[in-house]
A and B are shown apart, each in its own frame.
Chain A
């Protein structure tokens, strides 16, 4: 069954530590996205990639980094520079064409120890 897999479901980070969230899709989609979700704020775009080896900053990219070495994979690293990383992180992908909907994974909840 095609879809988007995010792992792990729950992640804990110590102060000063980088952590990487995994996102894999088998939908053959060109575009992939990372969002951060906080209560009452909806979804905010962190980074997006429309093609392999290329990505753009979203609205809240500071303290985050990404790579897109394979079409299927778009990992997000939350660096120690991100001062308030506790949130629910959602990965999405979409096919070619701006009228294509985004498909979402089930999210990773990151907490600070």
Chain B
């Protein structure tokens, strides 16, 4: 079975600073990769996804992620943090690779410092 590792359960950045949330997966076959955001007491909302093609993927709210096969990573970035970015972020991979089932990481809670 796939596993997903999100380094850092809590990340704090200052407003206007770079946001970097890390995600690594375990698979020799490139899976489909997803980032979701969750606001308190709500469901998950898709930020972006990588399936095939360009390895730099742009999503909503100014976020982007780069698929790096050699590093088995799919880190999420945003150049300038906004207060509204405060939420929990989940990385997910298709499990088994290229399947409809997803395995989720344990999440990273992002705090924005004014």
Interface residue ranges, A against B (CB under 8 Å): 4, 6, 31, 33, 35, 40-45, 48, 50, 58, 90, 92, 94, 97-107, 109
Contact = CB atoms under 8 A, between A and B. Distances in A.
Interface size class of B (residues with CB under 8 A): 20 to 34
A104 B46 CA distance: 9
B102 A102 contact: yes
A40 B90 CA distance: 11
B99 interface: yes
A16 B27 CA distance: 41
A91 to B, nearest CB: 8
Interface of B (DSSP majority class): loop
Nearest to B45: A104
Interface of B: 9, 32, 34, 36, 41-46, 49, 51-52, 90, 94, 98-102, 104-107
A104 B9 CA distance: 22
Nearest to A50: B100
A104 B51 contact: no
A98 B98 contact: yes
